[in-house]
Chain A
Amino acid sequence: MSVIEVGFIIQRPPYKSETSTLGVTHAISYQVVDMLLEEGQGVTPKVCFIGEGVLNCISGQKAMENYGVTSIESHIKNALLVDLDLYVCKEDLERFGISEDRLIDAEDMGADKKLQVVPFSEIQKILNNSKHLLVF
């Protein structure tokens, strides 16, 4: 009986497809996975935004206004609210010229967690420690 880490790699840009949304929502579902597991078992998602996936992390998304759907920003805020660890690749942010002050923050919702900007070498370590990897 143990808790396993599952790496979620989100590399697709937002809204081009539903892929990145599904990555975040699948990760959030860890909250209720224990309903289907034995006592003491669990899944800890480690969500890593890399490549074009870092574009999902920009704040101020207007998905409801433009598409009538919940924004990825809302999903990411919910993920932070339920204490998920979300990592954003520092090098890819720099490649796109995105400064850290433009990233989503869920402090207004009372979340303790924040998006963690880390070098890719750190993301590699996180993924190496994951039992399984899911690429979105």
Chain B
Amino acid sequence: MGTLTIGCFASLVGSKSLDFSLKLAKAALDKGHKVNIWLSSNATIMAKANQKHLKDYSHSEKYVRELLERGVEICECEACALARGIQKAETVEGVEWSAMHWYLAKIYNSDRVVHIGGE
């Protein structure tokens, strides 16, 4: 089985790109692949804890927790998160914090990379 790294840069609310990322990660896991997720730019909101699930808005916390439990490595861009006022203590437990070289290192060891850009 292979390794898939997903780079997420889109916002959680306002587009369905992160919803797609989460579903893609789950589908890859179900097929037995290893998955890494890099959260940068507006996607850093994806791993924030205490999201309120309002039915009109996308939410990710529940899915992030499920992916972490299944062994997915998820990492926030520290600078992107801090610039948006997101502190490490506010993110879901188990989410890593690092810098951009984390993404490049995962890319190195990946069979496939899906880079989902933001606006």
Contact = CB atoms under 8 A, between A and B. Distances in A.
- Say which size band chain A's interface belongs to: 20 to 34
Given A4-B108, A132-B107, A18 B41 contact: yes
A71 B118 CA distance: 19
Interface string B43-87: 000000000000000000000000000000000000000000000
Interface residues of B, number: 19
B2 interface: no
B9 A37 contact: no
B119 A43 contact: no
Interface of A: 4, 6, 17-19, 22, 25-26, 28-33, 35-37, 41-43, 45, 132-136
18 contacts: A6-B104, A6-B107, A17-B119, A19-B117, A19-B119, A25-B100, A29-B101, A29-B104, A30-B101, A32-B101, A33-B104, A36-B102, A37-B108, A43-B104, A43-B108, A133-B115, A134-B115, A135-B117
